[in-house]
């Protein structure tokens, strides 16, 4: 009777309980192993997602994808840009009007003054400029700078294109903790691409490049310091 009580009180006496404990142990081991393998595995889909996030945050920037927009004098608390009716500045005026038609800016006429006194009909038209809510996703930053002669001017850095998709075309491993990812990025133009923007080269439509990755204790990251 005593031996029977001891065996029934022993947690390892039951065969089904021993099997359950063994299965649970196996599941835990596999879960830990899978988690470790997941951090060390850099798939094409994972790399593409990380590259997309880097473009959205501005960590990666394709050449020609951003430009600067000078929108004029800061005077008496108002921001102005200037449009002239002379043929020299006609194209610039048309580009500002395109931004207005795209609902990127609101333009309020403030004043006019002669541009060339000896040229009939040649005038400056001054407008107050405000970016619309629709424009904000394409604006990187707005900053003020000294334009000389005691004047302050403002400049906006804007996106001429936005990322459409990323396709990873190959991954080359460099040891256990490094990889080079080759990819093709496709872009689509923003309304600011039609505007009077100072550019550093033509905005890209497709961009083929490569970027280094490094494996850390928490997983893969883009190696920003050594990016090409």
Asked if 181 contacts 210 with a C-beta cutoff of 8 angstroms, the reply is yes
Give me the pLDDT at residue 225, please: 79
Give me the pLDDT at residue 125, please: 77
Structure tokens at 36: 């470790």
* Nearest-10 Cα torsion for 74, 79, 84, 89: 90
Give the domain ranges of the chain.
Answer: 42-64+160-226, 67-159
Give me the pLDDT at residue 33, please: 43
Side-chain-side CA neighbours of 196 within 13 Å: the count stands at 19
**What percent of the chain shows pLDDT beyond 70?**
70
How many Å apart are CA 115 and CA 125, to the nearest integer? 9
How many Å apart are CA 129 and CA 100, to the nearest integer? 10
pLDDT band for 9, please (50, 70, 90 cuts).
very low
Nearest to residue 212, comparing CAs of 63, 59, 65? Answer: 59
pLDDT mean over 190-205: 87
Give me the pLDDT at residue 136, please: 92
Q: Model pTM? A: 0.69
Question: Which of residues 194 and 37 earns the better pLDDT score?
Answer: 194
> Which of 1.10.10, 3.10.450, 3.40.1350, 3.30.200 is the CATH number of 42-64+160-226?
3.10.450
Beta strands in the chain (DSSP E): 66-75, 78-84, 105-114, 123-131, 139-148, 151-159, 161-174, 178-189, 198-199, 206-216, 219-222
Please say if the pLDDT value at position 56 is more than 80: yes
How many Å apart are CA 42 and CA 27, to the nearest integer? 24
Q: What is the average pLDDT score of the chain?
A: 78
pLDDT mean over 72-101: 70
Question: Which of residues 55 and 227 earns the better pLDDT score?
Answer: 55
Distances (CA, A) of 18 to 5, 12, 31: 18, 6, 20
Please say if the pLDDT value at position 208 is more than 60: yes
Give me the pLDDT at residue 11, please: 45
pLDDT tens figures, 149-175: 777 777 889 999 999 999 999 999 999
pLDDT tens figures, 112-128: 777 666 666 667 777 88
**What percent of the chain shows pLDDT beyond 90?**
37
Give me the pLDDT at residue 35, please: 45
Structure tokens at 195: 């505007």
């Amino acid at each position: 009777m005593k031996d029977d009580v001891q065996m029934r009180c022993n947690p390892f006496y039951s065969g089904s309980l021993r099997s359950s404990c063994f299965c649970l142990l196996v599941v835990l081991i596999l879960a830990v192993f899978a988690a470790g393998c997941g951090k060390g595995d850099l798939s094409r889909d994972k790399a593409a997602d990380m590259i997309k996030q880097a473009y959205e945050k501005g960590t990666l920037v394709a050449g020609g994808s951003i430009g600067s927009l000078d929108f004029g004098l800061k005077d008496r608390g108002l921001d102005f840009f200037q449009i002239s009716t002379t043929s020299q500045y006609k194209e610039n005026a048309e580009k500002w009007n395109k931004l207005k038609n795209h609902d990127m800016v609101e333009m309020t006429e403030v004043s006019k003054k002669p541009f060339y006194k000896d040229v009939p009909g040649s005038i400056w038209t001054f407008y107050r400029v405000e970016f619309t809510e629709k424009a904000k996703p394409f604006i990187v930053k707005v900053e003020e700078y000294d334009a000389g002669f005691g004047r302050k001017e403002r400049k906006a850095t804007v996106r001429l294109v936005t990322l459409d998709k990323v396709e990873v075309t190959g991954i080359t491993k460099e040891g256990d903790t490094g990889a080079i990812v080759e990819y093709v990025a496709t872009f689509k133009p923003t309304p600011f691409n039609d505007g009077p923007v100072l550019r550093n080269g033509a905005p890209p439509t497709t961009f083929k490049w490569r970027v280094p990755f490094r494996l850390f204790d928490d997983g893969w990251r883009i190696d920003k310091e050594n990016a090409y």
